[in-house]
Amino acid sequence: MKYMPNILIVKGSGRNVGKTVSACQIIRQLAESHAPVGIKISPHFHRLDEKQKFIHFSPDFVIVEERNINGKDSSRMLQAGAKKVFYIQAKNDYLPQAVEMVLQQINSINPVVIESGGLYDFWEPGLLVYIEGEELKKESNIRPHSTVIRLSSGEAQNFDWKKVHFNNGKFTIDA
């Protein structure tokens, strides 16, 4: 299991539990003193605008650098203050390869906030934020040694994200 201390993963038990809102709040807080990078990962392949800046395009994964201000989740990360934002569409087995390709595009000392349901299966982040919806749709499978903030959807909306810190290349949280 690859340990990535400069990565924070936001994952949830299903759709519409507050993952993007939480990721944006974390990015907004980090942007006060750092240059955070946002990554939105989808296991579903959608048609993308040819005008976007493609970093990689293959049948296994697609990477786009988000530069547009619109209502998409990746654009919301940009609006929250991320220095750069990338949108990845990837088959699950190709998630690590796709994210590694993005990490080569950025400074490795930057905090990276990733909204992804599947990346945690491959990597151990510096911090995992797990948000549960009212109906538990997916088993969480959180490893016992992970540093995790576990919240209900309602708690995520009111959580004090100033408890999350990024120092010396790694994420930490106040007790």
Average pLDDT over residues 50-74: 82
The model carries a pTM of: 0.91
| Residue 53, number of CB atoms within 10 A of its CB | 11
Q: Which fold does the domain 2-162 belong to in CATH?
A: Rossmann fold (3.40.50)
C-alpha distance across the termini of the chain, in Å: 25
All structural domains of the chain with their residue ranges? 2-162
Distances (CA, A) of 38 to 7, 137, 155: 10, 25, 22
pLDDT in tens, 91-141: 999 999 999 999 998 977 899 999 998 999 999 999 999 999 876 555 568
Q: How confident is the model at residue 153 (pLDDT cuts 50, 70, 90)?
A: confident
Share the mean pLDDT of the chain: 89
pLDDT of residue 67: 81
- 105 token code pair: 């595009």
